[in-house]
Amino acid sequence: MALPTRFKNNNDLYQPLADINVTPLVDVMLVLLIIFMVTAPLLAKGVKVNLPQASAAQPINQKDPIVVTVGKDGKVSLGADQVADNALIDGIRAMMGDDAARVVHVRGDTEAVYGEVVAVMDRLARNGITHIAIMTNSRSKTGPASKAGAPAAAPAGGAAK
């Protein structure tokens, strides 16, 4: 059986299409960019608390701090995860690894009971975690922490070195 003439070695039919349609690629990339721009602020870790203000606190520079948060309801969180009282020390030790000199930042809500914040700091100190810093917000214009634009940490009782 002979092939019709339109299929016989006709170079026009079998030429590869070498053009890439860029418009759908740009559309998809712009949609992905918008999605990431909208979701990026939602990925912030931590528990929202109102930090007390301190004008004499000095900002500390640490890449990956260990943050313990005491909420206004008295619940304790390690990073963004709420932990039980007996699991707090184990979680901190796991985050510290071999670096026993890492500073643990303690954040307490302004409406949190002062005794609960002190109890968390005491529990840390009793278990050998002596590098503790209390997190505050500095809103005064005269303090050095307001120039840095970041929350400041003040050493707790001279324990942080």
The yes-or-no verdict on residue 46 having pLDDT over 80 is: no
The yes-or-no verdict on residue 44 having pLDDT over 90 is: no
The residue type at 121:
M
Report the relative pairing of strands 152-155 and 81-82 from DSSP bridges: unpaired
Domain boundaries in the chain? Answer: 66-155
The yes-or-no verdict on residue 36 having pLDDT over 60 is: yes
Say which CATH architecture domain 66-155 belongs to. 2-Layer Sandwich (3.30)
Q: Which residues of 24-42 are buried (b: 16+ CB within 10 A; e: fewer)?
A: eeeeeeeeeeeeeeeeeee
Name the more confident of 16 and 127: 127
Structure token pair of residue 131: 């590098």
Is the separation of the CB atoms in 136 and 51 below 8 Å?
A: yes
**Per-residue pLDDT band at 28 (split at 50, 70, 90):** very high
Residue with tokens 């929350």, as numbered in its chain = 151
Q: Which residues of 109-119 are buried (b: 16+ CB within 10 A; e: fewer)?
A: beebeeebbee
Question: What value does the mean pLDDT of the chain take?
Answer: 76
The residue type at 136:
T
